[in-house]
Structure 1
Amino acid sequence: MGSARPFDRPLHRRTVLRGAAALAAAGFAGEAFTLPAAAATIPAPPSFPAGIELYQQAYVNWSGEIDLADVWTCAPATPADVVTVANWARANGYRVRPKGMSHGWAPTLLPAGADVTKVVLVDLTKHLRGISVGSGRVTVQAGATIDQLTVALENAGYGLAALTAPGNLTVGGVLAIGAHGSAVPANGETRIPGTSYGTLSNLVLSLTVVAWDATAGAYVLKTYTRTQPQIAAFLVHLGRAFVVSAVLQVGANTRLRCQSFYDIPTATLFAAPGTSGRTIESYLARSGRIEAIWFPFTDRPWLKVWTIAPSKPVLSRSVSAPYAYTFANFLSEEQSDFLSRIVAGDTSGTPAFENFQISVVGSGLIVTGTWDIWGWSKNLLLYVQPTTLRIVEAGYAVLTSRANVQRVIHEFYVRYQARISAYQAQGKFPMNGPVEIRVTGVDTPADVSGGGVSPQLSAARPRPDRPDWNAVVWLDMGTIPGTPDADSFYAEMESWIVANYSGDYATVRPEWSKAWAVTPAGAWTDTAALTGRIPAALRAGQPAGDNWDTARATLNAADPHRIFSNTFLDTLLP
């Protein structure tokens, strides 16, 4: 393990907990409080371009662990305005960070404790959110949200095979980190043209970015198509580039049925490979789309199974809008009380709280009549709203063969269960949020209309040397930010995950939006992983001229002045 990161200030546990508790209790959503330039608390950016709105605004990430007050922020009205801001930043020694909905954990936009005196956030959500649907494709600006995009697509008869659970994410943010849903082909299923079983980045046909032009001696707009080698670095760029718009391929919309189960024993669902009965594998074979949510110290997960269903099943309830699981999108009195106890340093109530959580799922599904619902794809796939309890999650992408998915899940379950039991024996309860498991395909260019290159930095990038590794198991472990012993637990689990899923069996990449490179000092503090193991994982099995190093060179050439970077990215992608 490496040493603590040198590029931000450490977070005190009580500070994080109080902030997270307040954030969750308030159901924090929407735009942060803004200050006009006249009320500035730090010096205004000098000679900022006239006509582009400028103000100060707090930046708070999803879990509240990154909380920066009064960051200078601008709201460009056009892509040309973004170019103007970029050239101003270069001339004045500033850095520019594209701001979306702030639904993320990793410090790819700004690290905790960052010095923001020479940083300007560029809020894309105010003006750069245009959407134009064409035949089998959609042109969308980076500030449009997944909610807005899916409404426009549905109105035109299109949809996506898989979606992120929250819809309050910008397209720019989703593409930057290679966000994903949960889908592999069921037995006998044929992929709908225009869709992909990989990440949403694999839908890209072209990107328009702000990039340096050596001839012009300035930043300009450049458009790259999916068949151009350079685009491979921008498809998933981790915040090291500035994408202003994308053209995505889309397929015919489908109606889905989503069935929720909370009566399957954990040991059955996550059983050893080859076990008969109600295993994850059995549901994947039948439907191809699952998500398992398992609260520690409980013996019944919440399993969601989506099945393509052109006609409404007799027992299903029709829904015409997303976010059906209203019981999961507010902070209950019990949750608020538990947060208060955690702030006070008392985690002993964790097992009881986790059993309360799964009981809420069971009763909520019954009360809302949502245990079996049917409708257009977005109305079934979008279910996480900003009012849900804010937790932190460590996330890992295990690339393996479709045949080994049940094995991956079983081994993880056994290890996780053993470690939380070992901690419990010591009177420690580091995990009080759910384990979330999803399964996708890989970002194969074969899914792309007209072919093209694969995303060089995608956690779901296929390995040319291992064509049998055609699935990704996404393993997420959640807890309330600042919970005692959480970082030590995460560090142990990460070390085991990386060691276990290796060799001829599988490999591991970070789920970029989540916590990773964890040591007992916190997430993203393992400098050996940041500078060694993680880049190596994105080099392995790839051609010498088409890997992590190629992506870094492309991004550096597009931004040689590093105005689209921060101190964390300077370490990860120097």
Structure 2
Amino acid sequence: MNSKHGHSNHVRPDHPTDPPTHPSSPASGAPSRRTLLGGLAGAAALAATQWTPVGLIPASEAGAAPTPPDFPTGITLGVQQYRNWSGELRADDVWTAVPAHPSDVVILANWARAKGYRLRPRGMSHNWSPILIPTGADTSHTLMVDTTQHLTSLVVNPGSPTTVTVETGCSVERLLTALEQAGRGLIATTAPGKLSVGGVLAIGAHGSGIPTPGETLPQGGTYGTLSNLVLSLTAVVWNQAAGAYVLRTFQRNDPEIGPFLVHLGRAFVTEVTLQTNANQRLRCQNFYHDQIGTLLGPAGGGGKKLADYIRDSGRVEVIWFPFTTVPWLKVWSVAPSKPWVSTRVENPYPYTFANFVTEDQAKFLADIATGNVGATEVFTNAEMAVVGSGLIVTWTWDIWGWSKNTQLFVEPTTLRIHEGGWAVLTARANVQRVLNEFFVRYTGLLGAYKANGQYPCNSPIELRVTGIDRASEVVTANAVEPTLSAARPRPDHPEWDTVVWLDVATLPGTPANHDFYQQMDAWIWGNYTGNYACVRPEWSKGWAYGVDGAWTDTAAVTGRIPNSFRTGLPTTSNFDAARATFNKYDPGRVFSNTFLDLLLP
């Protein structure tokens, strides 16, 4: 239990009532695998394991790889290991630079071009996909650039609306804290706060929320991704006339800014200015009484559906463990005054029960490591029991506070999982259909595997719903859409105003999971088509599933993934236009890796 976020942060309601019957689970951080990869077993070892990689070993003490030649003086250099969030992608002894100023990144880029090196911008590494360093990559000519030490400045700019200028190594939590102190906030944000601003913008990160009927969007807000908040950005780009990399600032109405708004690590952005909205007080009710088959059942009929909750509040998240009967349903609503039954929260991460490794989780991890999946159903039901009891014990079944305190709830101490992620773009009226078809396929496929004695999934599905990245929600006139955002509108389908985010999790290393994900992936892309919906990858998660797991289906990486950013979009701002922009401003491919060479050649 993390005492920093314990009971002292909560004020019990004046008139406590019996808690509703609703659950929770380690949100996007249920059981994980990174400790599994290290061969660790036992609660003590797991709980003691730190997600943050070993600290930087100074170059003078690093006896591993040869020192990068003629490295620029005055910039800190050392060796560090890399681990992605789930531990599936890892690299040891990677040379890492720690720039003190954005100008240092310019120096590094020009050095890298001259010496045949590649730069990989490093934030908090809370990412699944191989856009930073692919698995098994040769990193002998790779230099990670740690943005989180010094590229963290933040200034709130008064105005209408109030904006914030922030360097990309700053954390989301620190950004939201500074905004809260200025009376500002965001409509929705990511569940983890220990993410770098640069990292979340690179992949088009999102929260959960669409407007209720009659709700007015506050000035400076967006129901789309965080990338849709960008008003300007500064990136390190190649200047042909100068024959060198330089810093250049792009405004949101610059036609060339589109690819930089979600750049997938194919660029290096050092600073952004974001629009903000007046901060909101949010109530978050945590339910665990809805039968999952009803909540995600077909539209119409008896029982309350998720679409009904969305209609009433606009802001929901479903976390459901397979082989259980009820999900952890989070329902946020705008509430300027504290409901008398709600617990006031003054700090983020209120669900302390979800942010540490339990002994049962550790034991199950050890079983998975040996291929023993027989206890899967017992495990997932125990996880849901922890949710239900945890909400009661911590008085967090109904909480109220400033937006960040109810929306940030995943900490780095949470057990890690692999997550596959898909974004389904559709009309709001079709949201329940999207959810029901997904649920029927997911449970049907799990049942077929179970009949063969296989349990490929032991961690929750996570469902969220957002709006699209509307240019009209940007305060800059003639704003350019994020070219590669999964939430980008389709001009040929103006009725597609909503994105349903489908995430499927399991512990990496779980037997048969590759086959399961490959089948789910193929079905999702084949089902949500035509005039009904379209699919795009959730860039930070698993996608392009092949026989060897995520990102290994080369035909998808070079075919249907790029095509999802071509179909229905103008040739002047589609996938190919983005690729051309990246190649124009980084012709030497200093900001790339072998995987991005395949995805964005």
Would the alpha carbon gap of residues 305 and 492 (structure 1) be closer, same or farther in structure 2, given more than 3 Å must change?
A: same
In the other structure, the counterpart of 2:279 is 253
In the other structure, the counterpart of 2:6 is none
- How far apart in 2 are the matches of 1:223 and 1:32? 34
Preserved contact between residue 331 and residue 389 of structure 1 (Cα < 8 Å): yes
- How far apart in 2 are the matches of 1:211 and 1:458? 21
In the other structure, the counterpart of 1:38 is 60
Q: 1:354 aligns with which of 357, 368, 380?
A: 380
In the other structure, the counterpart of 2:150 is 127
In the other structure, the counterpart of 2:568 is 541
Q: 1:509 aligns with which of 536, 554, 565?
A: 536
- How far apart in 1 are the matches of 2:248 and 2:198? 16
Preserved contact between residue 180 and residue 198 of structure 1 (Cα < 8 Å): yes
Residue 86 in structure 1 maps to residue 109 in structure 2? yes
Which blocks of at least 5 consecutive residues in structure 2 are unaligned?
1-32
C-alpha displacement of 1:33: 2.9
- How far apart in 1 are the matches of 2:475 and 2:77? 40
In the other structure, the counterpart of 2:476 is 450
Mapping of 1:249-288 within 5 angstroms? Answer: 249-288=275-314
Residue 430 in structure 1 maps to residue 430 in structure 2? no
In the other structure, the counterpart of 1:8 is none
- How far apart in 2 are the matches of 1:309 and 1:151? 20
In the other structure, the counterpart of 2:3 is none
C-alpha displacement of 1:268: 1.1
Q: 1:19 aligns with which of 38, 43, 62?
A: 38
In the other structure, the counterpart of 1:178 is 204
Q: 2:125 aligns with which of 102, 124, 139?
A: 102
In the other structure, the counterpart of 2:331 is 305
In the other structure, the counterpart of 2:486 is 459
Following TM superposition, the consecutive aligned residue runs of length 4 or more in structure 1 with deviations greater than 6 angstroms are none
Preserved contact between residue 27 and residue 330 of structure 1 (Cα < 8 Å): no
What TM-score do you get using the length of structure 1 for normalisation? 0.96
**RMSD of the TM alignment (CA)?**
1.3
In the other structure, the counterpart of 2:85 is 62
In the other structure, the counterpart of 1:410 is 436
Please identify, of 177-186 and 444-453, the stretch whose mean Cα deviation from structure 2 is larger: 444-453
Preserved contact between residue 56 and residue 72 of structure 1 (Cα < 8 Å): yes
In the other structure, the counterpart of 2:445 is 419
Question: SS where residue 557 of structure 1 aligns?
Answer: helix
Q: 1:474 aligns with which of 501, 508, 512?
A: 501
Residue 562 in structure 1 maps to residue 589 in structure 2? yes
Opposite residue 107 of structure 1, the aligned amino acid is P
Question: SS where residue 393 of structure 2 aligns?
Answer: helix
Opposite residue 515 of structure 1, the aligned amino acid is G
- How far apart in 2 are the matches of 1:266 and 1:373? 23
In the other structure, the counterpart of 1:496 is 523
Please identify, of 212-221 and 182-191, the stretch whose mean Cα deviation from structure 2 is larger: 182-191
Preserved contact between residue 137 and residue 249 of structure 1 (Cα < 8 Å): yes
C-alpha displacement of 1:275: 3.2
C-alpha displacement of 1:110: 0.3
Mapping of 1:149-228 within 5 angstroms? Answer: 149-228=175-254
Aligned length: 561
Please identify, of 516-525 and 297-306, the stretch whose mean Cα deviation from structure 2 is larger: 516-525
In the other structure, the counterpart of 2:22 is none
1:314-361 per-position Cα deviation (integer Å, ceiling 9, x unaligned): 100101000000000001110000001111110011011000010000
1:511-557 per-position Cα deviation (integer Å, ceiling 9, x unaligned): 00000000121110111110011111101111121101000000110
1:389-432 per-position Cα deviation (integer Å, ceiling 9, x unaligned): 10000000000001100110011001100000100000000000
C-alpha displacement of 1:45: 0.5
Question: SS where residue 535 of structure 1 aligns?
Answer: helix
C-alpha displacement of 1:267: 0.9
1:100-149 per-position Cα deviation (integer Å, ceiling 9, x unaligned): 00001100000011111111100000000000001210000000000110
Question: SS where residue 473 of structure 1 aligns?
Answer: strand
- How far apart in 1 are the matches of 2:37 and 2:142? 27
In the other structure, the counterpart of 1:293 is 319
Would the alpha carbon gap of residues 293 and 445 (structure 1) be closer, same or farther in structure 2, given more than 3 Å must change?
A: same
1:251-307 per-position Cα deviation (integer Å, ceiling 9, x unaligned): 000000000000110011101012343211111011000000000000100000000
- How far apart in 2 are the matches of 1:336 and 1:540? 45
Question: SS where residue 284 of structure 2 aligns?
Answer: strand
- How far apart in 2 are the matches of 1:16 and 1:151? 31
Question: SS where residue 465 of structure 1 aligns?
Answer: coil
Would the alpha carbon gap of residues 24 and 308 (structure 1) be closer, same or farther in structure 2, given more than 3 Å must change?
A: farther
Preserved contact between residue 24 and residue 388 of structure 1 (Cα < 8 Å): no
- How far apart in 1 are the matches of 2:364 and 2:572? 52
- How far apart in 2 are the matches of 1:205 and 1:243? 13
Opposite residue 485 of structure 1, the aligned amino acid is A
1:361-402 per-position Cα deviation (integer Å, ceiling 9, x unaligned): 000000000000000000000000001110000000000001
Preserved contact between residue 166 and residue 383 of structure 1 (Cα < 8 Å): yes
In the other structure, the counterpart of 1:11 is none
Q: 2:368 aligns with which of 342, 357, 374?
A: 342
Which blocks of at least 5 consecutive residues in structure 1 are unaligned?
1-13
Q: 1:74 aligns with which of 80, 97, 115?
A: 97
C-alpha displacement of 1:16: 8.5
Opposite residue 419 of structure 1, the aligned amino acid is L
Would the alpha carbon gap of residues 21 and 231 (structure 1) be closer, same or farther in structure 2, given more than 3 Å must change?
A: farther
Q: 2:50 aligns with which of 4, 28, 38?
A: 28
Question: SS where residue 427 of structure 1 aligns?
Answer: coil
In the other structure, the counterpart of 2:259 is 233
Opposite residue 195 of structure 1, the aligned amino acid is G
Opposite residue 555 of structure 2, the aligned amino acid is A
C-alpha displacement of 1:21: 5.3
Question: SS where residue 255 of structure 2 aligns?
Answer: coil
Residue 386 in structure 1 maps to residue 405 in structure 2? no
Question: SS where residue 56 of structure 1 aligns?
Answer: strand
What TM-score do you get using the length of structure 2 for normalisation? 0.92
